[in-house]
Amino acid sequence: MTSRNYDVKDMSLAADGRLRIEWAYREMPVVHLIRERFAAEKPLKGIRISGCLHITTETANLALTLKAGGAEVTLCASNPLSTQDDVAAALVEYGIPTNAIKGEDDNTYYQHINAALDSKPHITIDDGADLVTTIHTKRSDLIADVIGGAEETTTGIIRLHSMHKAGKLKYPMIAVNDAQTKHLFDNRYGTGQSTIDGITRATNILWAGKKVVVCGYGWTGRGVSMRAKGLGSHVIIVEVEPVRALEAVMEGYQVMPLLEAAKVGDIFITVTGDKSVIDEPHFNVMKDGAILANSGHFNAEIDIPALEAMAKKKRTIRGFVEEYTLADGRCLFLLGEGRLINLAAAEGHPASVMDMSFANQALCAEYMVKNKGKLEIKVHPVPEKIDKEVARLKLRAMGVAIDTLTEEQQKYLASWEEGT
């Protein structure tokens, strides 16, 4: 669905999208509060925002919130398989040009990124840094107008730090992913639940009793492992960083190198952010029927070209399930073309957790406008005030009250003389 190709046939699609956007909004009370304030105060008046994000019901609610604040918003997809076409159609009806079609090829994907940049943004919002890298490498004439950018995901932030280190970053960025109210919830509970959801929708497997190999024990790996364990799977962790590996051991998981895990696993899930994590040596020893899925940002974690080269036969067994038959007769099943399975085969993170991530995005957009020209060109953390405010609002929306320290307790914590 692109803003240019929108036609009558898309009207019923758009109606479905509107209802689903409404449904998600019920679970986004913090974004709701921000939208009401933005509508009254218009802090983004005259600001053009381009967002390269997964086109979901939750993203639609972020875009509508930015628009309520006075911004002109243009969107494109941040992954070729994550777009919900009904949402794209509804967004176009809401007056938000949305350049995204589920299943678009790489060429169209980059055409859509360029179309989103044609709006000459003051602010860029990325999920994976494709917009910010395109503007820096191919559309640098647009940089003079940019106030700043925000990045939603771990992979994007790694790319931004590399850009900055190489002296290539040309405008200030805010690392929204690194806010506590983002990664501790979205990356852990969001990816945990939606990854299991995507694999279940694609395959309808029973998790109980399965050997699930999780590659990567960052926040997303922790979430995926926790949920697989909760469903009765035997979880094996593969991790290169010793402290994380130790944590996984103490959480009660088996930890081993991938070459060993490859021999016993039923389901493999990559969440490392790196490339060729599962490769030919691993395919060589996997059991017949092994299922391979990725929930990291890019489709580089499973070496698909190597799998293609090894396969004697390939067929689509069902939606999002490709069967690869190897020379010795074993079949391996790749889900969702190795793209993030939680968005390809399911709907991504539930709205309740995106509420916090996108509250941070909306408040950071407002912060960048308020601090126009004052932010150093580097990757900034989300201001602590914003992070804490999102937590406070979320707790309030959930009906949870918490205590505050007494003056005496605050003094005690600030002093060093008094021990007992």
Q: What's the closest the beta carbon of residue 401 comes to ligand ADE, in angstroms?
A: 29
Q: Which one-letter amino acid corresponds to residue 129?
A: A
Do residues 253 and 236 make contact, with C-beta atoms less than 8 angstroms apart?
Answer: yes
Residue 230 CA to residue 263 CA, distance in Å, equals 23
Residue 194 CB, shortest distance to ligand ADE, in Å, is 6
For the CA atoms of 230, 231, 237, 243, the dihedral, rounded to the nearest 10 degrees, stands at -10
Nearest distance, CB of residue 409 and ligand ADE, angstroms = 39
- Whichever of 198 and 265 has its CB closer to ligand ADE, that residue is 198
Gap between the Cα atoms of 225 and 195, Å rounded: 10
Give min distance, CB of 25 to ligand ADE, in A.
13
State the Cα–Cα distance between residues 128 and 78, nearest whole angstrom: 7
Helices (H), 26-122: 29-41, 57-68, 85-93, 106-117
- Three-state DSSP at 380 gives strand
Q: Which residues bind ligand ADE (CB under 6 A)?
A: 53-54, 56, 58-59, 190, 343, 348-349, 354
Looking at the Cβ atoms of 284 and 298, the one nearer to ligand ADE is 298
Nearest residue (CB) to ligand ADE, 53 versus 286: 53
Q: Which residues contact 149 (CB under 8 A, 6 or more apart)?
A: 123, 124, 125, 126, 131, 132, 171, 172, 173, 174
- The terminus-to-terminus CA distance of the chain in angstroms comes to 66
State the nearest-atom distance from the C-beta of 343 to ligand ADE, in Å: 6
Beta-strand ranges (E) seen in 171-244 are 173-175, 211-215, 234-238
Q: Which residue is nearest to ligand ADE (CB)?
A: 348
Closer residue to ligand ADE (CB): 24 or 311: 24
How many residues are given for the chain?
420
- Residue 187 CB, shortest distance to ligand ADE, in Å, is 9
To the nearest whole angstrom, how small is the minimum distance from the Cβ of residue 179 to ligand ADE?
A: 15
* Parallel/antiparallel/unpaired status of strands 321-326 and 331-335: antiparallel
Residue 210 or residue 297: which is nearer to ligand ADE going by CB?
297
Structure tokens at 146: 């940019």
Smallest gap from Cβ 347 to ligand ADE, in A, equals 6
- Find all residues with CB under 8 Å of 81, minimum gap 6, and list them: 102, 103, 336, 337, 339, 340, 343, 344
> What does the alpha-carbon distance between residue 301 and residue 394 come to, in Å, rounded to a whole number?
34
What is the rounded distance in angstroms from the CA atom of residue 331 to the CA atom of residue 226?
A: 28
- Decide whether 38 or 185 has the Cβ nearer to ligand ADE: 185
Pick 154 or 311: Cβ nearer ligand ADE:
154
Torsions phi, psi for 14 (to 5 deg): -60, -35
Least distance to ligand ADE from the beta carbon of 45, Å? 25
Strands (E), 365-417: 379-381
Closer residue to ligand ADE (CB): 3 or 82: 82
At which residue do the structure tokens 């690869």 appear?
A: 324
Tell the smallest beta-carbon distance from residue 283 to ligand ADE (Å): 28
Nearer to ligand ADE, 150 or 343 (CB): 343
CB of 143 vs ligand ADE, minimal distance in Å? 26
How far from chain centre, in Å, is Cα 304? Answer: 21
Question: Nearer to ligand ADE by C-beta: 56 or 203?
Answer: 56
Name the amino acid, one letter, at 145.
D
**265 vs 348 by CB, closer to ligand ADE:** 348
Provide CB contacts within 8 A for 347, sequence distance 6+.
56, 57, 84, 194, 197
